[in-house]
Chains A and B, each alone.
Chain A
Amino acid sequence: MTDNISERLAHLEPLPGPYFGEYGGRFSPEPLVAALDELTAAWEEAKRDPAFRLELDDLHRSYTGRPSIITEVKRFAEHAGGARILLKREDLNHTGSHKINNVLGQALLTKRIGKSRVIAETGAGQHGVATATAAALFGLDCVIYMGEVDTERQALNVARMRLLGAEVVPVTAGSRTLKDAINEAMRDWVTNVGTTNYVFGTVAGPHPFPAMVRDLQRIIGDEARDQVLELVGRLPDAVAACVGGGSNAMGIFTAFLDDPEVRLFGFEAAGEGVDTPRHAATITKGRPGVLHGARSYLLQDEDGQTLESHSISAGLDYPGVGPEHAWLADIGRATYRPVTDAAAMSALRLLSRTEGIIPAIESSHALAGALELGRELGPEAVILVNLSGRGDKDMTTAGHYFDLLDRGAEQV
C-alpha cells in the first residue's frame, strides 16, 4: 500500500466545483466573494505545489498518525449475516476523528495566504477540537462557534478546545445547533475577513469548500482502497459512511467513484424516525434549495425556511448536506439511507462489546447501516465502513441512554 499522500493529492479526477450537476455554487454575500476567490486560487496553487504536499504529507505521518489502519471486526460481523466488515480507523487519528485531515490542510493554507486568525463552526466538537489543535500547533488565534445545545451535549470537547487555547462561543440563535453555528461563523468572517480564514468543517458551504474539503479528506479512501486490496485481494462490495455535511463520506467514497462494482452507501441520521419531524435525513426527506452558500438538498418548509433537524449525534444534526452528495444521489452513484437514533446507539454498544472499540455516535450510524447491508448482501460480501471518530466525547449521552452512570458518578 502507498503512504504517499502527496502523490495522491495530485490525482483529482472528481469534479473541481463550483458545480456538481445542478448543485453547489456560491450563494454568498458579495463581501465574502473576494475571500472565496482568494481561497480558491490558493487551493488550486497549493494542491499542485510539491512543497505544500510534502509538508502536509509529513504532518499526517508525524502528527496525525497516518496512514490509519483497517481493522476486520469478525465478532461484530456475526450480527451482519456473516459478511466481512472492515473498519477504516479514523478514530485513531490525533484528536479522535477524520476532521484533522481537513483542518491541517486548511491551516497550512491559512499560513500560505498570510492570515493570523482562524474561525470554525462545530457540531460534535470534533471539527472545533481539530481546528483548535491546528491553531495551537501553528500559533494562530482561534474562535470556535458552537450551538448552545451542542456545548451541553459535547461538554468534554468544549473543555478540550478551551484547554487548547481557543475561544468557544456558544450560539443561542435559532435551533442552537450546527446550522446556527455556521451562520454565526459566516457573520464573523464577513466582519473580519481581512485577518481571518474560515476553516470550514465539511463538504458543504460555498465553493471552494465542497471540493477543497473533499480533496483533503480523500486520503481516507485512497489509503483504504489499497489496504482492502492488500488484505482481501479485491475491492469491497460496499462502502459505508455516515453523512452529516458529508466530509468523511466523500473522503472514503472518492477513491471508489470510478469502480462501478463498488456500491457506495451514505447513512443519514433518522433521529426518532423519518416519519416524525425529528430527524436529519436531508437527502431522504429534503428537496433542493439554497443554504449556507450552496444549492443542495435541504430540510425546509414550503416557504424555504430551514427546518430544525434532530439527531442524538450532534455531528449529524444538520438540515443540509454537501452538494456533491446531492449530485451522487441524483445520478444514482451513491445510495443514501436513514438510520434512527435507536439503531445507531444499538450499533455503538454492539461494537463496544464485541470488538472493544467505542465509536462516535456519528460513526455508529454507518455501523448500523453496515449491519443492515451485511444481511442484504450475504456472507460473501466485503463491506468497508468509515469509522469516522471515537466515542469518548459521547460518554455523557451514552451514559444516560444506557443508564450506565451511578447516581453518585453522575454528579462528578
Chain B
Amino acid sequence: MSAQGSAPSTGATSVAAVLAERRDAGTGALVGYLPVGFPDLATSIDAAVALVENGVDVLELGLPYSDPVMDGPVIQAATQQALANGFRLRHAFEAVRGVRERVDAPVLLMTYWNPVVQYGVERFADDLRDAGGAGVITPDLIPDEAGDWLAASERTGLDRVFLAAPSSSDARLARAVEVSRGFVYAVSTMGITGARSDVDRAARGLVDRLRAAGAENACVGLGISTAEQVREVLEYADGAIVGSALVAALAEGGVSAAGATAARLAEGTRPGSASAL
C-alpha cells in the first residue's frame, strides 16, 4: 500500500478514508477551497460549513499570505482583504476547530511555507492536530526542502499533500507519491489558480503518470469551476479541487452564494444525475 493511503488516526475521518469511500461509491470527491478570514474569520467559518452542507467532501482552508505566487487575481484579492482585516496565523487553528465542531468533513490547511517556519514547524503541527485538522497542502514546499515537515507530520500523523505538475519528471512524481499522504495534488495545467474554460488535457496524462508511480489518491486542481469540469476530472481522478469559483461566489453573494455554488459543483460528483447547468 502506498504511503498516501495510511495515516495514524487523529480521531477525525481521514482524507484518505473519504476519498476511498467516494471512490467505492463509484463517484469521486469534491474538494473545496476557501481562505481563512475572508471576508472575516466568523464568515469564513460559516462559509466553509456551508460548503460541506452542500456537498463538499474535503475542505481546504487557505492561509492568507503576503506573497502568494501560485494564486490568481480572485484568491489574491480575497487573501489581501483578509490580511487587511487583521488575519493572524492563530486564526487558522480557530477556523479549523470552528468548522470541525459543526461538520465532519476533513480539513486541510493550504499554506505557503514561511508562515509555518516562523510559527515553528513542530508547534504548527501540534496546534493543527489539536484543532482537529487533517494535514497541510504546501504549494511552495517541494519534498527536497521538506525535511522538517516530513518529521513533524510523521510524529503527529498529519497528512502532507505535495504538488505534482505536468512538467515534473518521472523521478519527481515518484518522490511526490512516496512522501504525500492523503493525496497528491495534481496541478491540472501550467499556471496559477483561477477559473479556466477548459481544464487542460495535461491533467489526465499527469494522473495516469501518478498512478503508474503508485499513487492511490490523486486530486486535480487549478482552473476547475463548473460541474461539467468536476464530472470530467472525476472520470480519472479521485477528487476535483475547486477554489476561485467558490471564493468569487462568497465575495459576490456571501455564504448562501458559496453554498449554492458548492451544491451546483457537487452535481458533478453524481454521474448520471441530470444537471441543469
C-alpha spacing A169/B12, complex, angstroms:
47
In the complex the two chains form, is A193's CB within 8 Å of B114's CB? Answer: no
Contacting residue for B169 out of A34, A174, A193, A289, CB 8 A: A34
Contacts of B212 in A (CB 8 A): none
Query: Residue among B65, B166, B190 with the most chain A CB within 10 A?
Result: B190
Number of interface residues of B (CB under 8 A): 39
C-alpha spacing A145/B237, complex, angstroms:
36
Q: How far is the CB of B219 from chain A (nearest CB, A)?
A: 14
10 contacts between A and B (CB under 8 A): A26-B142, A26-B144, A27-B140, A30-B176, A33-B167, A34-B172, A173-B76, A289-B114, A304-B117, A304-B118
Contacts of A27 in B (CB 8 A): 113, 140-142, 145
B249 near A: Cβ within 8 Å?
A: no
Q: How far is the CB of A317 from chain B (nearest CB, A)?
A: 15
Assuming A191-B191, A193-B190, is B118 touching A300 (CB within 8 A)? yes
In the complex the two chains form, is A306's CB within 8 Å of B66's CB? Answer: yes
Contacting residue for A190 out of B66, B141, B191, CB 8 A: B191
C-alpha spacing A10/B142, complex, angstroms:
31
Which of the segments A179-187, A240-248, A271-279, A403-411 contacts the partner chain?
A179-187
Contacts of A139 in B (CB 8 A): none
Contacting residue for A305 out of B83, B113, B144, CB 8 A: B83
C-alpha spacing A37/B190, complex, angstroms:
16
Which of the segments B27-35, B157-165, B250-258 contacts the partner chain?
B157-165
Which of the segments B16-24, B54-62, B67-75, B259-267 contacts the partner chain?
B67-75
B89 near A: Cβ within 8 Å?
A: yes
In the complex the two chains form, is A35's CB within 8 Å of B167's CB? Answer: yes
Contacts of A14 in B (CB 8 A): none
B192 near A: Cβ within 8 Å?
A: yes
Query: Which of chain B's residues has its CB closest to A30's CB?
Result: B163
Q: How far is the CB of B152 from chain A (nearest CB, A)?
A: 16
In the complex the two chains form, is B67's CB within 8 Å of A289's CB? Answer: no
In the complex the two chains form, is B172's CB within 8 Å of A190's CB? Answer: no
In the complex the two chains form, is A191's CB within 8 Å of B117's CB? Answer: no
Contacts of A34 in B (CB 8 A): 165, 167-169, 172
Q: Which B residues lie at the A interface, using CB under 8 A?
A: 65-70, 72, 76, 80, 83, 88-89, 113-119, 139-142, 144-145, 162-169, 172, 176, 187, 190-192
Query: Which of chain A's residues has its CB closest to B185's CB?
Result: A30
Contacting residue for A174 out of B67, B144, B191, CB 8 A: B67
Contacts of B116 in A (CB 8 A): 304
In the complex the two chains form, is A33's CB within 8 Å of B142's CB? Answer: yes
Contacting residue for A303 out of B68, B118, B165, CB 8 A: B118
In the complex the two chains form, is B163's CB within 8 Å of A31's CB? Answer: yes
C-alpha spacing A29/B110, complex, angstroms:
13
Query: Which of chain A's residues has its CB closest to B169's CB?
Result: A34
A67 near B: Cβ within 8 Å?
A: no
In the complex the two chains form, is A183's CB within 8 Å of B69's CB? Answer: yes
In the complex the two chains form, is B142's CB within 8 Å of A303's CB? Answer: no
Contacting residue for B114 out of A26, A186, A290, CB 8 A: A290
| Additional 17 contacts, C-beta under 8 A, given A27-B141, A174-B80, A191-B192 | A27-B140, A29-B142, A29-B165, A30-B172, A31-B167, A33-B142, A35-B167, A37-B169, A183-B69, A187-B192, A290-B117, A290-B140, A292-B67, A303-B115, A303-B118, A304-B65, A304-B117
